[in-house]
């Protein structure tokens, strides 16, 4: 009886290990497929051959030139809009809120993490995509975008002084994501991690996103299909600045990105 149980445990363990390895392989395959589909779509839209593009990208300084051209072109298009725009310069670790092309707030990026997609994909295809602003299609955050404050008017000045209370919203944990029309997801997280509430909020924020991605990947793996992949950029900035940025940008605002 013990021998049979041991055999079943070995079989079950082997199946679990096999499934985990298969899951990891499919996850890696998802990145490669996303890169190939992206590159192929770009080359299909061009008259030139793929070999010509690869040769141009090998020329010293060519990548820098098309990066600067795409960055400037996207800023010009953003300046034509009347709403507040978001500029993310990963290369220089700077974020700016822009109105009509003029910066109204500048924030230094403390740290960032970029999806391997941006390094594996053809760079000319990447900067062709980034030559126009990205449009925000969805937002999620651990705090309210438009806070509502209900106040009762005091009868006299003495009550006004007594009723004055400090703003407790500064103690909210600040984590949010931005979905875009180019299938690029931005994660913004507060750099500070000083109290237990912030650490718990960070844990559940990451857990929610990982659970969503794992669920979608699992469904594809079970069906023996390559899961979809969403390129990401994770950015850590000061808590107060992150809250200002999230509340300032429109729900369907535009993002200029260079990396």
What is the per-residue pLDDT across 31-66, written as a single tens digit (0 to 9) for each? Answer: 888 899 999 998 888 765 555 555 677 788 889 999
Instruction: State the residue for tokens 């994660």.
Output: 187
| Residue of 29 and 63 predicted with greater confidence | 63
Structural domain spans, the chain: 2-258
Report which of residues 242 and 54 the model is more confident about: 242
H/E element, 44: helix 2-44
The enclosing H or E element of 233 equals strand 232-237
For residue 227, the SS3 value is: coil
Q: Is 98 within 8 Å of 221 (Cβ atoms)?
A: no
Contacts 24+ apart (CB under 8 A), 212-219: 217/23, 217/26, 217/27, 217/30, 218/23
Percent of the chain whose pLDDT exceeds 90: 46
Closest to 254 measured CA to CA, from 75, 6, 19? 75
62-102: pLDDT as tens digits: 899 999 999 999 999 999 988 899 999 999 999 999 999 89
Six token digits for residue 89 = 């310069």
Residue 166 reports pLDDT greater than 70: no
- Is the separation of the CB atoms in 194 and 147 below 8 Å? no
State residue 166 phi and psi, 5-degree precision.
Answer: -65, 150
* 213/11 Cα distance (integer angstroms): 28
Within 8 A by CB and 6+ apart from 218, the residues are 23
Give residue 131's pLDDT band: very low, low, confident or very high (50, 70, 90): very high
Task: Find tokens 């993310």 and name the residue.
Answer: 88
Angstrom distance (rounded) from CA 76 to CA 67: 14
Q: Provide the strand spans (E) within 61-133.
A: 85-89, 94-99, 102-108, 111-114
CB 85 within 8 A of CB 78: yes
């Amino acid at each position: 009886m013990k021998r049979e149980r041991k055999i079943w445990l070995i079989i079950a363990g082997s199946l679990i290990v096999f499934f985990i390895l298969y899951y990891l392989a499919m996850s890696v395959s998802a990145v490669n497929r996303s890169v190939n589909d992206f590159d192929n779509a770009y080359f299909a839209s061009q008259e030139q051959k793929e070999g010509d593009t690869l040769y141009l990208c090998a020329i010293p300084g060519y990548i820098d030139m098309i990066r600067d051209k795409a960055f400037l072109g996207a800023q010009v298009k953003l300046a034509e809009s009347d709403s507040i725009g978001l500029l993310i310069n990963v290369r220089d670790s700077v974020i700016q809120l822009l109105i009509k092309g003029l910066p109204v707030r500048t924030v230094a990026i403390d740290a960032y993490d970029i999806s391997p997609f941006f390094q594996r994909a053809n760079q000319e295809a990447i900067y062709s995509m980034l030559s126009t602003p990205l449009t925000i299609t969805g937002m999620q955050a651990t705090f309210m975008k438009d806070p509502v404050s209900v106040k009762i008017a005091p009868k006299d000045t003495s009550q006004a002084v007594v009723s004055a209370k400090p703003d407790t919203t500064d103690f909210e944990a600040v984590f949010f994501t931005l979905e875009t029309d180019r299938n690029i997801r931005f994660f913004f997280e507060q750099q500070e991690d000083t109290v237990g509430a912030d650490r718990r909020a960070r844990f559940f924020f990451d857990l929610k996103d990982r659970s969503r991605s794992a669920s979608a990947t699992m469904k594809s793996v079970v069906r023996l299909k390559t899961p979809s992949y969403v390129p990401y950029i994770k950015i850590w900035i000061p808590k107060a600045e992150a809250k200002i940025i999230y509340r300032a940008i429109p729900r369907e605002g535009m993002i200029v990105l260079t990396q």
